Amino acid sequence: MKIRNARRISQGFFFTLFLFFAVVSDLRYMKGYPISLFLELDPLVAVATAITTHSVYKGLLWSLVLLVPTLLLGRIFCNWICPYGTLHQITGWLFGKGRAEERERIEANRYRSIYQVKYLILIGMIAAAFFGSLQIGLLDPICLFHRSMTTAILPGLNLAFPSTFYVRQYFHVGAWVIGFLLLALVAMNIVIPRFFCRVLCPLGAFLGATSKFSLWRIDRDPHKCIDCDLCLKNCEGASDPHTQLRKSECFVCFNCIEDCPTDAISFKLLPDLQREISAPAVPARRAVVGGLLGAAFFGFGRASGASDRNYEKKVIRPPGSVEEKEFLERCIKCDQCIRVCPTNVLQPSFLEAGLEGIWTPILNMKLGYCELNCTLCGQACPTGAIQRITIEEKTGVGAAAEQGPVRLGTAFYDHGRCLPWSMETPCVVCEEVCPTSPKAIYSREVTITRRDGKPITLRRPYVDPSLCIGCGICEHECPVTDEAAIRVTAIGETRSRDRRLLMDGGNTGAVRDLSRRER
Amino acid sequence: MTDGPTGGIAGISRREFMARAGATAALIGGSVAGGISLWQRKHFVPGFQEERGLQLPSFALAQDKALPSMAIAHGTDHDSTIRAAIGALGGMGRFIQKGDVVMIKPNVAFDRPPALTATTHPDALRAVARLVREAGASKILVADNPINSPAGCFLKSGLRDVANELNLDLLYPEAGRFSPLELDGEILRHWTFFHEPFKRATKVIGVAPCKDHNLCHASMTMKNWYGLLGGRRNQFHQHIHSIVSDFALMMKPTLVVLDGMNVLMKNGPTGGRLSDVKRVGTVVAGTDMVAVDSYGYSNLMGRDLAELTYIHKAHDRGLGNKNWKDANFKETHA
């Protein structure tokens, strides 16, 4: 079998596997599939989170499985595994220069200096990571593809073909931005083949820089070469195999080997480095500029205060989320949590969580609520931004009884919009749906004189902040659906000591009567 | 794989082979070792991690039954009255030895001038600091974490001028100067604490004004330690009496001085009008905050001690004696 076909089979397999995981990330189909496998294989995720958190979270250790072959063989990920690369390869072939005349294809695959942009992006993102702002997810291909599938493609397809991916239609705030961004990146393949992979991809840049050390490399025998440039015809990485190979750009697609009419090109263990350019061609001053931009991103983003005292009440994080600054160190915006959420409550934020928090998950109680006995988002999170907490730990029972439940926020009444409080109308749906026991929402019976002079007895609801866990089902089910009469805001969340509402964390047994204890 | 004239492993030197293969092997080994050493295997529950913090040592001296534990001095000015009170206790030399680093904790909570009595009076700080200096202290630290802007509070209260005048080390509550504190309190168990001055201090003296307080009735020497805590202190009001009594557990000072020359009688703890302030002309000093505050509440403010819940909590927990008359006390005139 030709190696090109082996590669195509590999690409097809991984692309299908990626789509399969995306589709089965649904409560109906869950069987313990490793749905975050691609994210866990992604060494940029592991390395960048190791920089921000000084740890490698659970399954991220799998990234070694990808890092090691890269150190041996080069960027095989880009053209053998990466589903996003495959998407660009296929769309480029269909709509771009992939099927153009031979000469044009050769010209389209020559190296251009714009391809160093991805290294500047990587340097900027790593610089930001050293300050504690994890931004690789904006452009990391796996994060980007997962996010696009979750928020735009699957819900969009489900609108055209109802009930294919969701029992009930899902909605995602700002899906159109993410969707059009994907389309724009795909469309750029018309201008430059594999535009994203060659110009923007920070994972490609990372693997490219790593390739400097790989033992097996493409090697051209200058004695056999007849300078026909046919090796460029199908070169995916634009790595100049016709002259000095740019190892950092090479996707190891092997097309050049098969296209060479004189067998001058081979894949060799430890070839002579004189015949190639081993490291990425990035001038030092530009690298510094990339680093400074990353530092500025952190500085300006953090200075806006969104992760500190000026935090937005709508930034209600999923259960098990770590404290906000650490959240920004861990969340890669892959939106896997949003995909697995069974109620559609999780949404990609836009600017609610600040510049740094773009596309990180927040709860929107208009679209859903946090299901009491569910910790799927934490199970799916590959980086521990949402820790893999258990139901017992989430609800504060059993061994976790002393520390109490995990709270996401606190519900507050808006009396002016509440039917029994201001419209002489019985309601208390909120109390009915409140899932805690005892209920965090309770009501008091009052008899009032109606406008027409007749008495009416109804129940008026209250929130007990020591019991409220901020799940938001009260807000979700409130009959005042445009802006509910009870709304959850982020205050009171257990993950942050600074954002708690009650001194004792709402644990009613917290105040100890020490005077009764034996001294 | 075809070998050209210079191709193949044979085409490179042994030295280059070792260098290149070695670099790759080192990176592989480093990646695997690094990954495994950084590996977070287990989850945690955010917000519920086990907390550890520093435990504050006691700055109190061993009890000496022969000497008075509390002194009440009446007079007309801060300097002579405070001198009289400390003198009645046996002089500052009883508390401060040569070479001591002494932390003086004033109450500088608000951005108010001294006359409004919302803050420790500069004359009180000056008098205490001079006595400490005379006793041979090598260094005097002054620190507080005010509610209003720190720079404004120290300026307006006049304490910055005293610090400059007497060459005291004024420590502002900068973020890096706080550490987590651990306490087995009734409600206060883990809180961020103004640790910096206590890294160096060998003795601690609290110098507090005597003030009305809207929620806990009065702010005196026990409540003064509130200013050593950081974080979300606005939650303290949820359990104010437990918290104030926990302060008596948290801080074991060498000495406390309650400045009752002027007393803020109403609209506390901020005051704001001279008519809120009453001239009383008394200074109480002692080693037992609970006794000093009990005297202050019943005799300086003239109120019913039964309503001051935190005093009773502290007394019941054995953190002091609310029955100040039982103590070995001395009353004097400047």
Which residue matches tokens 């720079």? B151
Chain B residues 23-62 with CB within 8 Å of chain A: 23-24, 27-28, 31-32, 34-36, 38-41, 43-48
CB atoms A497 and B313 under 8 Å:
no
Give the one of B9, B12, B45 whose C-beta lies nearest to A320's C-beta: B45
Contacts of A272 in chain B (CB under 8 A): 6-7, 11-12
- At residue A510 the predicted structure's pLDDT band, cuts being 50, 70 and 90, is low
Three-state SS letters, chain B: CCCCCCCCHHHCCHHHHHHHHHHHHHHHHHHHHHHHHHEECCCCCCCCCCCCCECCCCCCCCCCCCCCCEEEEECCCHHHHHHHHHHHCCCHHHCCCCCCEEEEEECCCCCCCHHHCCCCCHHHHHHHHHHHHHCCCCEEEEECCCCCCHHHHHHHCCHHHHHHHHCCEEECCCHHHEEEEECCCCCCCEEEEECHHHHHCCEEEEEEEEEEECCCEEECCCHHHHHHECCCHHHHHHHHHHHHHHHHHHCCCCEEEEEEEEEECCCCCCCCCHHHEEEEEEEEEECCHHHHHHHHHHHHCCCCHHHCHHHHHHHHCCCCCCCHHHCCEEEEEC
Is the model's pLDDT at A519 over the cut of 80? no
For A421-473, the pLDDT digits (tens) are 999 999 999 999 999 988 999 999 999 999 999 999 999 999 999 999 999 99
Q: Nearest chain B residue to A267 by CA: give it.
A: B1
- Characterize the bridge pairing of strands A441-449 and B277-286: unpaired
- Min Cα distance B7 → chain A (Å) is 6
Whole-number pLDDT of residue B10: 66
ipTM of predicted assembly, 2 dp:
0.81
Q: Alpha helix (H) ranges present in A240-283?
A: 255-259
Domains and CATH numbers, chain A: 3-277 (no CATH), 404-507 (3.30.70)
Whole-number pLDDT of residue A514: 56
Contacts of B182 in chain A (CB under 8 A): none
CB atoms B235 and A268 under 8 Å:
no
CB atoms B4 and A221 under 8 Å:
yes
Is the model's pLDDT at B7 over the cut of 80? no
Q: For chain A, give the mean pLDDT.
A: 93
- At residue B142 the predicted structure's pLDDT band, cuts being 50, 70 and 90, is very high
- At residue B268 the predicted structure's pLDDT band, cuts being 50, 70 and 90, is confident
Whole-number pLDDT of residue B9: 67
CB atoms A494 and B46 under 8 Å:
yes
In whole angstroms, what is the distance from residue B74 CA to residue B78 CA?
10
Q: What is the mean pLDDT of residues B287-316?
A: 96
Give the one of A61, A215, A512 whose C-beta lies nearest to B24's C-beta: A215
For A238-271, the pLDDT digits (tens) are 999 999 999 999 999 999 999 999 999 999 999 9
Q: What is the mean pLDDT of residues A174-198?
A: 96
**CB-based contact, B10 to chain A, within 8 Å:** no
CB atoms B35 and A56 under 8 Å:
yes
Is the model's pLDDT at A368 over the cut of 70? yes
Whole-number pLDDT of residue A37: 95
Is the model's pLDDT at A518 over the cut of 50? no
Whole-number pLDDT of residue B284: 97
Write the class of the CATH domain B70-333.
alpha beta
**CB-based contact, A219 to chain B, within 8 Å:** yes
Q: What is the mean pLDDT of residues B214-241?
A: 92
CB atoms A495 and B24 under 8 Å:
no
In whole angstroms, what is the distance from residue A331 CA to residue A308 CA?
17
Q: What is the mean pLDDT of residues B87-113?
A: 96
- At residue A96 the predicted structure's pLDDT band, cuts being 50, 70 and 90, is confident
Radius of gyration of chain B from Cα atoms?
28
A502: which residues sit within 8 A by CB, 6+ positions away? A465, A466, A492, B235, B238
Q: What is the mean pLDDT of residues A99-116?
A: 93
Whole-number pLDDT of residue B2: 44
B-interface mutation test, from A330, A497, A501, most B Cβ less than 10 A away: A497
Is the model's pLDDT at B4 over the cut of 50? no
Q: Nearest chain A residue to B316 by CA: give it.
A: A515
- Min Cα distance A5 → chain B (Å) is 19
Q: Alpha helix (H) ranges present in A314-403?
A: 324-330, 336-340, 376-380, 391-395
B-interface mutation test, from A55, A211, A270, most B Cβ less than 10 A away: A270
B-interface mutation test, from A53, A55, A56, A223, most B Cβ less than 10 A away: A56
- At residue A505 the predicted structure's pLDDT band, cuts being 50, 70 and 90, is low
**CB-based contact, A397 to chain B, within 8 Å:** no
Whole-number pLDDT of residue A507: 60
Whole-number pLDDT of residue A511: 61
Is the model's pLDDT at B156 over the cut of 70? yes
Whole-number pLDDT of residue A149: 97
Is the model's pLDDT at A512 over the cut of 90? no
Q: For chain B, give the mean pLDDT.
A: 93
- Min Cα distance B77 → chain A (Å) is 40
User: Which residue ranges make up each domain of chain B?
Assistant: 70-333
Is the model's pLDDT at B6 over the cut of 80? no
CB atoms B44 and A387 under 8 Å:
yes
**CB-based contact, B238 to chain A, within 8 Å:** yes
Q: What is the mean pLDDT of residues A395-417?
A: 93
Is the model's pLDDT at A117 over the cut of 80? yes
Is the model's pLDDT at B140 over the cut of 70? yes
- Min Cα distance A314 → chain B (Å) is 19
- At residue B94 the predicted structure's pLDDT band, cuts being 50, 70 and 90, is very high
Is the model's pLDDT at B302 over the cut of 80? yes
Region of poorest pLDDT, from A27-31, A69-73, A146-150, A411-415: A27-31
